[in-house]
Chains A and B, each alone.
Chain A
């Protein structure tokens, strides 16, 4: 009897803390936003700018997140090294870009500029995909049937190894993408105090196009179907005559290609690349994948955009009204709090199904 009562009490206490947490966070968000908006320090145009920069960042997160989510979907593996695959892409694009810039092709005229960007993407994708397949072959494939934590540690090892390999190859210094003139120009919108560059447009549009293409590929083509089948159930898929190995390799290749393309877009916006470039976007993209519901391709897009917006707008909206000093220092605090909040309400992410039992 006593034990039953105690259990009941702890249950109530747990539920109380849970609801307390939910209410506290929601309250903080609502009050903070109200105070900020009521304070009226920022114009509508600056909010728009924040939303655009959030969308740009979010698009990049989303492209990287695809690699995480697809690999997780098929292998239940957190591919920690994926951030480094992205970083390799930024380097691949960088060397193509400097070569093209060196011969004066990059900024010769708008057409050569576009060709150059395409070539940079091609270079980045080649580097990323090669590296991802090597990592898969060496660090993951032999461990496919080992307990779940084993490939995770192997992935963490691969991440360190790649980071410091690139440091060894290219040194600790910063490499900077050359400026592509036409992309650096403003889009003539005619709104005072609100600016969008062509590069922003390019990032968002190409991210959407690539993700739509990927979605169609996975849904409509034979190879895509085989990937989906393998992520549902490997053994059955094998019995159905699907080449499981090929499907897995394709998954890694596609994820890496997306990361490589994201690398070039990243380089064009933020310019700087060095051996540590991939680490933070990698973690963020994984967070985005979880937010959206890991294993779910539209979820990764949604998670990326959501995270980008939270980071872009969040600190200013939620915190500056509360008088928090240096709110932008805390952007990741907001991002991760949002993640926890989403997971509390929807334990499998925004679009995720309840398949997490696999863990």
Chain B
């Protein structure tokens, strides 16, 4: 079969055209939303390709790839469907350029500017509008070839693309970190101020593709898996020790900005673990986490602050237990009236509490005590050191947050197996059955809620100390949403999941601050994609993963919940 020449008519043209049109829509979207023109000033590889161009290239490649998967043809003509779909996608861009020439698209879409048309036609004006079609066809064909390659050659290609992308994106951060070290010269050689240099691109590709191939061909993973458990431990423990060491050294290796970002990540890990008890174990959807965060933050600010709002001038270490305590008391007071409410009604009620606290914190009513929008300034750091000390600034917060996160992880882990932990799980599964089995619903729920609140208060207290101030504008619904997203994206009830979730949802957007508003666009897209392709989370607990897969197998043939099985 494989050798027979396919005929023109055998190609499923309808599907090919559909994929091509979707590709065109995506490419036009990238242009109009501003990614192409705005990111054109941001090189991926200096003087070779910009990020804006990369986005279009990737869209066209993907068009070819998807076409090849849809129209599974073999033989000499096999690149044809991909090329046609790519050409259709490219033609979409051509149409955009021509349309822009005829009518003033910019009156509606701000990004349909001459700059954009210049990028799409390589500066040659309307006469060059056909270029997009040719490039589309070439990239579409390339994409469909990529889809058909055997795994052995596709893997290095994938690594190649990923390396360039990651290298180009992180180049600025790496370069900045290297410039203040003796590696400054190397940093300048490999990385341009934005994006990789050509040398850097070559080095990165060789290093990473080489390493991944080496890793693959030496069959490291198989060998480790094939070892006896005792031997495995010999391999894994040193690795864990190295990883732990790296985590502790991270802020020193990468400088104060990365330290600040990972301190923030650690803070969210801590809160994610807290919510994991409320949501992951007891199944209570709490969209008002920020309320307790605020209580903790304001408690620490009031008790330790040296500004006119400070009331006690205590050290951080004395204030933080009170932050946790007050948050728990608040949790109990707010929780009691509403915990009789079930399901999504509870979610909206907690969301309401979050909003109430947010508004009150910034209101004229409480501003004599909380500073309103002008906030409470001069919240001291826990450990007073010189700016050059290794614990200065965000570094100490990072260590404190990590220590607290480890503590919470331990508590959560111990709780899960305990009597109360099993009671929570039973409530999560079915409240009525749990009640019938003798679980006291309100008490059990309130315990979960109050524990979660305490951890949020801890996070808030550390936050106030990290930023050195607390303002009403920091108390946002977005904080609550972020914490819930971390728990779900990481994997419900999973401790390493919360770490990964926070890294991904807090760390990455913080690192890419220079993309300003587009960060949120990517954040949204990432949440959707993550849920589509890994609904059980990045690092699910074994139990949760089985649940997701069983449910989707049982319930619907039409679900596309096709998470890779090796992950479980």
Direct contact of A and B (CB under 8 A): yes
How far, in whole Å, are A158 and B527 apart by their CA atoms in the complex? 8
Q: How long is the Cα–Cα vector from A21 to B149 in the complex, in angstroms?
A: 67
Q: Cβ of A171: which chain B residues have Cβ within 8 Å of it?
A: 110
Hey, which chain A residues are within 8 Å of B338, CB to CB? Answer: 340, 343-344
Whether, in the assembled complex, B484 has its beta carbon less than 8 Å from a beta carbon of chain A, the answer is: yes
Indicate with 1 or 0, residue by residue over A105-123, a CB within 8 angstroms of chain B CB atoms: 0000000000000000000
- Which one of B363, B477, B523, B535 has the greatest number of beta carbons of chain A within 10 Å? B535
A138 to B525, CA, bound (A): 11
- Collect the chain A residues with CB atoms within 8 Å of residue B360's CB: 330, 333
* Number of chain A residues whose Cβ lies closer than 8 Å to a Cβ of chain B: 67
B342 and A165 within 8 A (CB): no
Are B521 and A150 closer than 8 Å at their CB atoms? no
The answer to whether A157 and B525 touch across the interface, beta carbons within 8 angstroms, is yes
Q: Which of A11, A76, A142, A290 contacts B532 (CB 8 A)?
A: A142
| Cβ–Cβ < 8 Å partners of B520 in chain A | 160, 163-164
- What is the distance, in angstroms, from B533's C-beta to the closest C-beta of chain A? 9
Interface string of A136-161 (1 = CB under 8 A from B): 00110011111101111110111111
- In Å, the complex CA distance between A76 and B531 comes to 17
Contacts of B340 in A (CB 8 A): 344, 347
Q: Which residues of A contact B442 (CB under 8 A)?
A: 11, 14
Q: Which of B336, B481, B484 contacts A18 (CB 8 A)?
A: B336
Q: Does B353 contact A (CB under 8 A)?
A: yes
Given the complex, which residues of B lie within 8 Å of A159, measured CB to CB? 524
Q: A7-B440, A147-B548, A156-B485 are in contact. Are A349 and B345 (CB under 8 A)?
A: yes
Chain B hits for A10, CB < 8 A? 443
CB of A332 closer than 8 Å to a CB of B = yes
Contacts A143-B532, A356-B343, A358-B343; A153 near B484 (Cβ below 8 A):
yes
B interface majority secondary structure: helix
Contact A330 B485 (CB under 8 A): no
Judge if B559 is at the interface, Cβ distance under 8 Å: yes
Closest to A13 in B: B336
A161 touches B524 (CB 8 A): yes
Indicate whether A325 sits within 8 Å of B365 (C-beta atoms), given known contacts A165-B33, A169-B32.
yes
Contact B333 A17, beta carbon cutoff 8 Å? yes
Within 8 A of B (CB), among A39-71: none
Closest Cβ neighbor of B544 among chain A residues: A147
Rounded to whole Å, the gap between the CB of A231 and the closest CB of chain B is 15
A165 to B531, CA, bound (A): 20
Scoring A residues 82 to 123 as 1 if CB is less than 8 Å from chain B, else 0, what string do you get? 000000000000010000000000000000000000000000
- The CA of A347 and the CA of B349, in the complex, are separated in Å by 10
The distance from the CB of B392 to the nearest CB of chain A, in whole angstroms, is 35
Whether B313 is near chain A, meaning CB under 8 Å from some CB there, is no
Q: Which residue of A lies closest to B478 (CB)?
A: A160
Counting chain B CB atoms within 10 Å of each CB, which of A17, A143, A160, A358 scores highest? A160
Q: A145-B559, A156-B485, A157-B525 are known; give 14 further A-B pairs, CB within 8 A.
A: A143-B561, A145-B555, A147-B535, A149-B285, A150-B548, A152-B488, A169-B33, A169-B34, A171-B110, A287-B352, A330-B365, A340-B353, A343-B345, A344-B340
Q: What 10 pairs across the A-B complex have the smallest Cβ distances?
A: A359-B343, A157-B527, A160-B524, A161-B524, A336-B352, A168-B33, A164-B521, A154-B531, A145-B555, A157-B528
What are some 8 contacts across the A-B interface (CB < 8 A)? A7-B443, A143-B559, A145-B556, A156-B481, A156-B485, A158-B524, A329-B365, A344-B338
